[in-house]
Structure formats: structure tokens, C-alpha cells
Amino acid sequence: MKKDYLKLQPDAFTRFRTVSFLLESMAKSNSKNKKYSILDIGGSSIFMYDFLIESGLDFELTIIDPRPKPAGLNSKIAYIQSTGEEARKLGKKFDFTIMIDMLEHVAGDTSKESVIDSAIQLTTEAVVIAGPYDDYQTDKFEHSLNSINKELFGVDQDWLLEHFECKKPDLDKVMTVLNKAGWSTSSVSTLPFNFWLASAFANLTPASSEQVKKATIEALNTKFNTEFENMPSSFFTDQGYRKVIIASKNKLPKLKVVQTSNSSYLDYEMLYSGILATLIITQTKAIQQANQTIGSLNHEKAISEQKYELLKEENGRVKERNDELENHIFNHRAALKKIPLSKSTVNLVRKIRK
């Protein structure tokens, strides 16, 4: 696996590795030595192709997405700029169709069902639909992360905002559409909610705080992702942020699902939470020091204000004394004017004037 991919936050890395693992598992159980055709609806990403390469699966990949073809996409990928609803017009069948974190960006249940119908019509073996679904826990934790993003950066998280506006798909409704079409279904989850929030929050902090270094977060991401890459199934749980539906016309893969308290996540949840705790403690200390400094400045300000008032009073007293002195001088001059001059003094003044 590319080192840069291992540095991805777990939310990104696990979605691609989970899907590539499931396709690999279904291909192996099929026991057919063939090249598999894969349709990725809404897969405007440079990652999926490389994850499939790493899985060892022999495949050809077609992507259909309304967004322009992304820069850096492998030239071996057939890229069609169109919608998932229009995918059925391709006039071609695929062994596997995958949809990764895309239904929550499609507005309205009718449009969501139309995309799923396209996948059903175009697929011969299995459909894999991964992403967050509409339930209380998912919604609560998404709003928590969005609130954190607003606190750190002053804006909503753009892709979470789309989840809120377009509405996440209903898991039971998606399963019903697939079952009615005659497909067998099963599902697994990854990323228990507390782990998902802690790891996502931790990955936001380097952009908002100098106390958390990007290299520290990426090293922890790499450690977790390496374990997940080697054994994805050990991280499958019965409840989690990302749920993955597998629908097949053939035999479904056997998936071992453990309880929500999956120990594979607990150590890493503590490590990510530890980074956040360190950040909070550091910022709390900084706030306390700032408050102490403000307190000292306020004390100095109060003393300065007292000195100012004393000086103001003293200045008033000096002004009063000065006024008294001026009055005294004025009275003295007036008194002097009333004293008659001697004849000799008058003659002396006259001589001086001449």
C-alpha cells in the first residue's frame, strides 16, 4: 500500500479497503479465474483503483460520476461524466457495482432508489453499497463533528452539510429494494461511533492548533490503517458509523461480525482521545495563564486608577493654592497702588522717563 494512503484518516482509508476486501472475497469464493468488470457509481476518487490493485484482483474499472474527471486518475480507468440514474443507459453489464459514500449526496428517496435500480440492472454478480445511513446515532455524531468543525474553523463541514440537506439513505429501504429484485443481502459495519468521532476530531486539530503536529496524527493513522489493511474482517462490527450492504445473486461472503465493543478499535480510540485530551489540557493551561495575566493587568490597572485619582486630587489642591496665591498677589498689588509716593520718588521717576 502507498505510504501516503496509510496516512489517510481512518474514515477515508477504511471505506476503500473494506470494499476492495469484500470484492476480493467474493471473487475468491467464485473460483472463476477471470478479469472482473467493476462499475463505480459516484466514484470520483483516485483511491479506489489503487486499493483494488493492492487486493490482487484482476479487474477493469469504469467510473460514472456527474463531476468532471479528477486530475491524477489512472488512464486505465474508463471515466463517464454522468449521473447514477443515467448509468442504466450504458448498455453494458458489470460483474460488480460499488457505491461508496454517495447515496447520502443524492437528494430524495426516489432518486436514491433510481440509482439502486440502475445498479441492479447493470450488475450480474454483486452490488456493494457503503456509507452512513439514517439513524439516530449516526445523525447525532455527525452533528457533533460538524459543531466541532464550526468551533475550529467557523464554518460547517461541507460534506456533512450535504448529508443534512440531501438526507442519508434508510438502511431498511435500501435492503428492501434489493430484496424485492431477488437479491440476497447482508451487512456489516465499521468504525464504532466513539472511535469515528475521536479519530475524525483528532485529524482536524493540526489545521487549527500548533500544539498537535500533523506528523503525530499521520503516524497514528498509519499504525491503525496498517492493521486494518492486513485484516479488515477483524474490524467488522454490528454497529458503526459506516455500514456496508452486500447484495448478491450468488452466494454471499461469510463475514464474521463482532460486538460494538470491538477490541480492535479500543486501543486506538484511547490514543486518538489521548491526543485530544493533551490538546485540551494544553489549551486549558494556556487559558488559565491568560486569565492570570489578565488578573495581574487588571490589578495593575486598578492601582494605576487609584494613583490617578490621588494625583487628580493633589492637582485640585495645588490649583486651589495657586488660585489663593493669585488672589493674594492681586490684592497686594491693589494695596500697593493706594500708597502715595514721596516727592523724591516722583522726581526720580521723571528723570528716568527723560
Query: Could you tell me which residues come within 8 angstroms of residue 261 by beta carbon, excluding any fewer than 6 positions away?
Result: 192
In a domain, 75, yes or no: yes
Does residue 218 lie within any of the structural domains?
Answer: no
Which structural domain range is residue 28 located in? 3-192+232-261
Angle of the 109-122 helix axis to the 171-180 helix axis, nearest 10: 40
Domain membership of residue 248 (yes or no) is yes
In a domain, 207, yes or no: no
Higher pLDDT residue, 12 or 318?
A: 12
pLDDT of residue 336: 62
Q: What's the CA dihedral at 250, 256, 258, 263 to 10 degrees?
A: -140
Say if 13 falls within a structural domain: yes
Which residue would you say has higher pLDDT here, 179 or 33? 179
Q: Looking at the whole model, is its pTM more than 0.85?
A: no
Radius of gyration, alpha carbons of the chain: 39
Per-residue pLDDT reduced to its tens digit, 175-208 = 999 999 999 999 999 999 999 999 999 998 887 7
Please report whether residue 351 resides in a domain.
no
Residue 254 included in any domain: yes
Task: Report how many domains make up the chain.
Answer: 1
Highest mean pLDDT: which of 26-30, 33-37, 83-87?
Answer: 33-37
Specify the CATH number for the domain of residue 116. 3.40.50.150
Residue 259 has pLDDT above 60, yes or no: no
The pLDDT value recorded for residue 119 is 92
Within 10 angstroms of residue 261's Cβ, the number of other Cβ atoms is: 11
**DSSP H/E element including 293:** helix 263-337
Which among 192, 194, 198, 270 is positioned nearest to 238, based on CA atoms?
192
How many other β-carbons are positioned within 10 Å of the β-carbon of residue 300? 10
Kindly report, residue by residue over 71-122, the tens digit of the pLDDT. Answer: 888 889 999 898 877 877 778 899 999 999 999 999 999 999 999 999 999 9
Whether residue 345 is predicted with pLDDT greater than 70 in this model: the reply is: no
**216-247: pLDDT as tens digits:** 899 999 999 999 999 898 899 888 999 999 99
Any domain includes 107: yes
Residue 311 has pLDDT above 70, yes or no: yes
Mean pLDDT calculated for residue range 271-287: 67
Give the integer Cα–Cα distance in Å for 4 and 46: 12
Residue 35 has, within 13 A of its CA and on its CB side, a CA count of 4
Cβ proximity of 129 and 101 under 8 Å: no
Q: Please say if the pLDDT value at position 332 is more than 70.
A: no
